[in-house]
Amino acid sequence: MNEQVEELDPFKISQKQLYNASKLIGLDENIYKALSEPEKIITIKITMKMDNGEIKTFKGFRCQYNSARGPMKGGIRWHPDENESLVKALSAWMTWKCACVSIPLGGAKGGIICNPKELSENELQKLARNYIRKLSGDVGPNIDVPAPDVYTNPQIMAWMMDEYETIIGEHAPSVITGKPVELGGSEGRGVATAKGGNYCIREAAKDIGLDLKDAKVIIQGYGNAGSYAASLLHNEYGCRIIGISDSKGAVFNKEGIEPLKALEHKQKTSSVVGLDGTQQLTNEELLELECDVLIPAALENVITKKNAGSIKAKIVAELANGPTTPDADEILYKNGVIVIPDFLCNAGGVSVSYFEMVQGYYLHFWSEKEVFASLDKIMTKAYRDTVNKAKEYNTNNRMGAYIIAIERVVNAMKLRGWI
């Protein structure tokens, strides 16, 4: 590869991160090889009749990365830019995520190449049912448990659960998580990713003596996770949200943006752009503004070697999966920026998904208070473990989190007699 060109392929990036962490702990080369590829990749084709009678074919995937620690777990993304490399990378990150926060699950990820914004309700339902029908032998409460991700939601999970239960002829709520609460979803699942990230931010702020009251926060990506993070940081810790963005652009107000007003504006106009009392910026400009906490909460590769040196935040809390490239990681570490790495920072979602699976097995449901108390415990411990591991190996937090995760997955593989 040309030295000048930064690697942006998500799966190659995930392999590079794994390789770097493996080197730090002197992992056997053949064990690295075993960890660097998924167990199984399923590619499917969904052909269906659209509302206007037109026949359309969609391509979908499910990648099952590693099952040593338990049933595999991971969301389903519906996006026009979905592709096999991305699904593979995301399934690897799910494996490290579940291991890092120590929930007894492996990692997987799925996706369909489509633009759900252009589909009717009826077409969305057809697509969801078709997807699960094609995968019905490969998913299940003790095999692989899907969940929402970019552009999928509780309603889509409900259709998928219903289709699966129809096929097997019995109830099986733990086949999927992120369901509506009325159908066995967990209290708190909707806000869980943001909530988990905020517990990490609270801990990181403690470590550097940053008072979160009036701390300046920027959120790149005002979707589900980003908008909940803004409201919770504002309401619970008194943070000042000074900038937010979505795919159409960014807005800034140094006096602070009211998170709920921004959400209402986005729901009405489909973008945060044009929000009253704000100045418009590009997404690139937003990332480089002076602030205390920067939260990338959208897609991959937004902090690269091009802009990492210009990031002024004290803490970068990665609610998105894969927002920072390995080259950018080195620059941030050198500049003393505290990075809360993606598969730690956004593990609140899958942690509450795990609670949802447990509640589904028992048909016994917890209050929101119980869910958040358990989540706080898991996230705080994982954050502390990560920081300590990074210190032990004199490396950055991402490598610290990888080392914890690799050790747990390798240990499970050894105990099973796989290696």
Contact between 173 and ligand GLU by CB under 6 A: the answer reads: no
Contact between 346 and ligand GLU by CB under 6 A: the answer reads: yes
On whether the CB atoms of residues 401 and 96 are closer than 8 A, the answer is yes
Contact between 75 and ligand GLU by CB under 6 A: the answer reads: yes
Contact between 147 and ligand GLU by CB under 6 A: the answer reads: yes
Residue nearest to ligand GLU (CB): 75
Rounded distance between C-alpha atoms, residue 41 and residue 44, angstroms: 10
On whether the CB atoms of residues 197 and 224 are closer than 8 A, the answer is no
CB closer to ligand GLU out of 149 and 292: 149
Contact between 297 and ligand GLU by CB under 6 A: the answer reads: no
What does the DSSP 8-state code read for residue 170?
A: S
Q: Which of 14, 15, 174, 177 binds ligand GLU (CB under 6 A)?
A: 177
Q: Which of 60, 74, 106, 173 binds ligand GLU (CB under 6 A)?
A: 74
Catalytic, 305? Answer no
- Which span (129-137, 327-335, 343-351, 377-385) binds ligand GLU, by CB under 6 A? 343-351
Rounded distance between C-alpha atoms, residue 350 and residue 382, angstroms: 13
Q: Which of 198, 321, 324, 396 binds ligand GLU (CB under 6 A)?
A: 321
Per-residue exposure over 376-410, b if at least 16 CB sit within 10 Å of its own CB, e if not: bebbeebbebbbebbeeeebbbbbbbbbbbbebbb
CB closer to ligand GLU out of 27 and 350: 350
Rounded distance between C-alpha atoms, residue 130 and residue 149, angstroms: 18
Contact between 174 and ligand GLU by CB under 6 A: the answer reads: no
Residue 46 Cβ, how far from ligand GLU at the closest point, in Å?
21
On whether the CB atoms of residues 287 and 274 are closer than 8 A, the answer is no
Contact between 349 and ligand GLU by CB under 6 A: the answer reads: yes
CB closer to ligand GLU out of 86 and 212: 86
Q: Which of 73, 88, 97, 109 is catalytic?
A: 109
Neighbouring-strand partners of residue 281:
250
On whether the CB atoms of residues 344 and 401 are closer than 8 A, the answer is yes
Beta strands in 369-414 (DSSP E): none
Contact between 125 and ligand GLU by CB under 6 A: the answer reads: no
Length of the chain: 419
Contact between 91 and ligand GLU by CB under 6 A: the answer reads: no
Place of tokens 């389903």: 76
Ramachandran bin of 373, using left for φ above 0, alpha for ψ from -120 to 50, beta for the remaining angles: alpha
Residue 109 Cβ, how far from ligand GLU at the closest point, in Å?
7
Contact between 73 and ligand GLU by CB under 6 A: the answer reads: yes
Rounded distance between C-alpha atoms, residue 380 and residue 202, angstroms: 9
- Which span (12-20, 38-46, 349-357, 368-376) binds ligand GLU, by CB under 6 A? 349-357
Residue 150 Cβ, how far from ligand GLU at the closest point, in Å?
8
CB closer to ligand GLU out of 177 and 245: 177
List residues with catalytic annotation. 109
